[in-house]
Structure 1
Amino acid sequence: MSDLIYPTLDLFLYTLKSPLNATEEEIQKNKATFLAQLPPDTQFNDADIEIEYLELTYPPQIDLQPTKEILEGYYYTVRINDTYGLQIDCSFKNQLEAQSAKYFEILKAEITQKLNSPLSTIGQTWMLSGWLPGNSPRNPEDIAKDCYCALFTGSWQPNRGRFLDATVFELSQTDNFNQSIVNVNNHINHNAHHVIIAIYPNRDSAEKAAEFYSDWMGLFCYRSKITWAYWQSRLAKESLVNHFHKVDKNRQVINQKHDSQEKQNIANSQTILNNIDNILQKYTIDLLNLSFQKQTIEINLANYQIRLALIKEKAGKNNQLDFLEKFSNLAQKKYLPQITKDIENMQLGLQLLEDTINATRSRIEVEKLERDRNFQELVAVAGAGIVTVSLIKDTAKDCKDIFQQVQFFCKYPLSASLMLGIIVSFVVWWLRKRWRY
């Protein structure tokens, strides 16, 4: 069945040039991996300047060099602030005859083959487009659904709109987050997708739409960074909760020993407190990361709204792009309030942990001081006894002075001195205890 003339598939994917806390070596590695997606002889120029939108190659569009003669396409690379963006475009050369929707499989296979090495992406968008043959009897939505099902799995539940007289459909798996959309490196899984399908009524409309590719590049970049930042915030929150549980578990161990009046090992308790301090440091870092992700969403949401407004103005009044505002509303009404609430809760958690741990540390210090005092008490009492024994032993042995009147001391000098030493130790202990209270 012939559905579309000049079916075209575009992949927009994004990777961070300099992730948070990345070393210079990691930054250069990211750059090399990104460059590996392009032909070896590509002239790449990434000027070390802060700029919102910078084309990275000369010429800006590099021939795709498809493996099949019936295909054509190009690479287009940019840097948008701190993010590399890559567009890979692939189309059927024939602009006269309509092709079946299933031919998009050929286009996707060609694009996938051009991805030379694993690229850690923060997001990607697939755009499918083409124009209807004259007097086409098929409903544009039926054609769009066939195109989607040829490339992706999942239910057909699109957002709908109009753009340059085209019927446009949007589908996404990245608006509702779960573990399945993230790979082992915590990057967006290539199987998770954001898809735009545009069915144009004629060639003129499709050619005019080609002028908007740079606008889509920016818009989809901001969208990817928002979804990426939100996912990072979910990971940060999960880490914070785990840290909280670890601290609380260690605190409970100390409290259980204290409540049961179990003899505590001060060294072990201090080790537990040091472990808690290390966890609290990680907790603080994750809390800062949570705030950073919120700021990232706020900045990119503002950029998304500005770019969308420019697209609307450029396209004219006879367009219905409200479906693209749904993502903006999602970020504004769900993502940001959720992160804000998480930050508030985790800050309260940090304060609670710090207060609890400070109290626990104070109690251990008191117990340590008490043990030191008891030890000093033992030294003082024992010392008094030992001095008494050493002073009396020789005198009692020679039966001198008062010991002449008590034959027991003369007959048993060692026992006598020990007995007096014990009596003196008891008296010293009793007096020190009385003076303390």
Structure 2
Amino acid sequence: MSDLIYPTLDLFLYALKTSLNTTDAETQKNKAAFLAQLPPDTQFNDPDIETEYLELTHPVQIDLNSNKKTLGGYYYPVRLNDTYGLQIDCSINNQTETQPAKSFTILKPEIEQQLNKELVTIGKTWLLSGWLPENSSQNPEDIAKDCYYALFKDTYWQPEKGTFLEGKVFEIWRSGNINQSREKVTTPSNNHEHHVIITLYPHRESAEKAAEFYKDWMGLFCYRSKISWAYWQSRLVKESLLNHYKQIEENRKITNINNSWQEKQSIANSRKILNNIDNILQQYTIDLLNLSFQKQIIEINLSNYQLRLALIQEKAGQNNQLDFLEKFSVLANKKYLPQITKDIENMQLGLQLLEDTINATRSRIEVEKAERDRKFQELVAVAGSVIATTSLLQSPAKDFCGKESRKDIFPKIPYFCDYPFSFSLIVGIIVGFIVWWLRKRLRS
């Protein structure tokens, strides 16, 4: 049987206060959702200032009121720049008697029922801790495994291992399905990363000293969460960019389907397609900037993560092995950042191709419009010559045919005087044909 003393479960969760393009109303909504995690009478103070680490309540730790007298704990809310952080601590209120590993099954529901489901988290970490009974012969990894399976029955045990303050540390983490929809990943129940740390100390003194590192863990887990969240968002942005590119390609193909004059798209329809492409391209450009923004988030928080980890290692002393925590920064350096950098390069090339497509489409429309304007002008010129000739001939013909001498002058073409308008129209058409022929010869 796996026993330990003072089993304690801490949840570190994080939510954005502000983000890219967040409005004041959205910021206030995020603040209200975070405040809803705390007891109703909490004295909450969140001034509108930039700060690396700010404790938000008075007192800084708020007692966790549980219906179970055997449990104790507290809330510890803070703000780290643009991110809210909350530690919820719950433990078996007994520091002398051993408890079974399955005690964690009592602690987790107690924490989860304190959470407001409307809070959109960007990451969370579960920290399990306790110390071993004196002269214990149990294998610490077996105990840690039992503690883990008491909380997470649907996952597997493949921990990273280390030592911390003479105790054994085990880290289990994995990423979720990157192909989830945007709607799913922005809800707390579909958090994209599973991250658990179990620390088993050899005695009470080590466990009490470890409690001094909670603020350090708060910062370290925050930077980690923001890195994972930014990479996750970058995958969604990339998917959006690809969708925009496909839509523009579909619109481009529509304009190229028919090439014959009889089947060409009308100018109005072509302009409608061009406007559609322009609108999609604007969103494409915004997404491309967002992709670069996610890269910057990773770079900033990766630097902070490495700095915070170095401070923890220095504070803990040389007899501690926390190298396993450095594997995450290596992953971010060797996978996350190069992947986003490559995506940005590819999508910028795609942007250039899309702009070329729009310019070609716009040029084609202008050529078609110019051709139609020319044909219209030609029609106006021909029609004008016909009308002008008809008008010029009709009135003189009437006057001339009305004279007494007309019978002697036109005895063989009475049609000229009997139907002056028709005769003028025929002459006008002949003149119009001559004008059309001359314009055609001049263009060639």
Deviations 1:369-413 (A, max 9, x none): 110110010011011112222232344456637766633423443
Aligned to 1:426: 433
Q: Distance in 2 between matches of 1:334 and 1:369?
A: 52
Return the alpha-carbon distance in structure 2 between the equivalents of residues 392 and 265 of structure 1: 39
Do structure 1's residue 194 and structure 2's residue 201 form an aligned pair? no
Q: Once the two structures are superposed, what CA deviation does each residue of 1:68-118 show, in whole Å capped at 9, x if it has no partner?
A: 000110111111111110000000011111111111010001001111442
Q: What residue in structure 2 maps to residue 250 of structure 1?
A: 251
The 10-residue stretch of structure 1 (134-143 or 194-203) with the greater mean CA deviation from structure 2:
134-143
Partner Cα distance (1:335, 1:422) in 2 = 75
1:417 paired residue number:
424
> Partner of 1:44: helix, strand, or coil?
coil
Query: How many residues are treated as equivalent by the alignment?
Result: 436
407-416 or 273-282, larger mean C-alpha shift: 407-416
Relative to structure 1, is the Cα distance of residues 334 and 291 closer, same or farther in structure 2, using a 3 angstrom cutoff? same
Q: Are the structure 2 counterparts of residues 412 and 364 from structure 1 closer, same or farther at C-alpha, using a change threshold of 3 Å? A: same
**2:182/2:236 contact within 8 Å kept:** no
Matches of residues 46-65 of structure 1 in structure 2 within 5 Å? Answer: 46-65=46-65
Instruction: Name the SS for the 2:85 alignment partner.
Output: strand
Residue in structure 2 matched with residue 23 of structure 1 by the alignment: 23
Pair 1:313 & 2:314 matched: yes
SS of the residue 2:158 aligns to: coil
The 8 Å contact of residues 37 and 116 in structure 2, kept in 1 or not, is answered as yes
Distance 2:356 2:106 in 1: 62
Secondary structure (helix, strand or coil) at the match of 1:271 reads helix
Q: Which stretches in structure 1 are left out of the alignment for 5+ residues?
A: none
Residues 396 and 403 in structure 1, CA contact (< 8 A), matched pair in contact too: no
Is the contact made by 1:145 and 1:156 (CA closer than 8 Å) also made in structure 2? yes
1:283 is matched with 284
Instruction: Give the structure 2 partner of residue 86 of structure 1.
Output: 86
Report how far residue 23 of structure 1 moved: 1.0
Q: Does 1:378 align with 2:385?
A: no
2:121, 2:186 within 8 Å by CA — same for their partners in 1? no
Deviation (angstroms), 1:217: 0.2
1:182/1:113 CA distance change after superposition, 3 Å: farther
SS, match of residue 259 in structure 2? helix
Q: What's 1:142 paired with?
A: 142
Aligned CA distance change for structure 1 residues 379 and 319 (closer, same or farther; 3 Å): same
CA distance in structure 2 between the partners assigned to 1:342 and 1:404 by the alignment: 90
Are 1:144 and 1:197, in contact at CA under 8 Å, matched by a contact in 2? yes
Given that 2:125 and 2:197 are in contact with CA atoms closer than 8 Å, whether structure 1 keeps it comes out as yes
Q: Counterpart in 2 of 1:323? A: 324
Match of residue 11 from structure 1: 11
Aligned to 1:366: 367
| In structure 1, distance between residues paired with 2:38 and 2:26 | 20
Normalised to the residue count of structure 2, the TM-score between the two structures is 0.94
User: Is the 1:122–1:187 contact (alpha carbons within 8 Å) kept by the matching residues of 2?
Assistant: no
Moved more, 254-263 or 123-132: 254-263
> Structure 1 residue 356: deviation in Å?
1.7
Q: CA 1:183/1:8 → structure 2, altered by over 3 Å: closer, same or farther?
A: farther
- Work out the CA distance in 1 between the residues paired with 2:412 and 2:346: 82
1:177 is displaced (CA, Å) by 4.8
Alignment of 1:26-45 (within 5 A): 26-45=26-45
CA contact under 8 A between 1:301 and 1:328: conserved in structure 2? yes
The change in CA–CA distance for 1:260 and 1:392 in structure 2 (over 3 A counts) is closer
Counterpart of 1:237 in structure 2: which amino acid? K
Runs of 4+ residues over 6 Å off in structure 1: none
Please, which runs of 5 or more residues in structure 2 have no aligned partner? none
**For the residues of structure 2 that align with 1:344 and 1:200, how far apart are their CA atoms?**
48
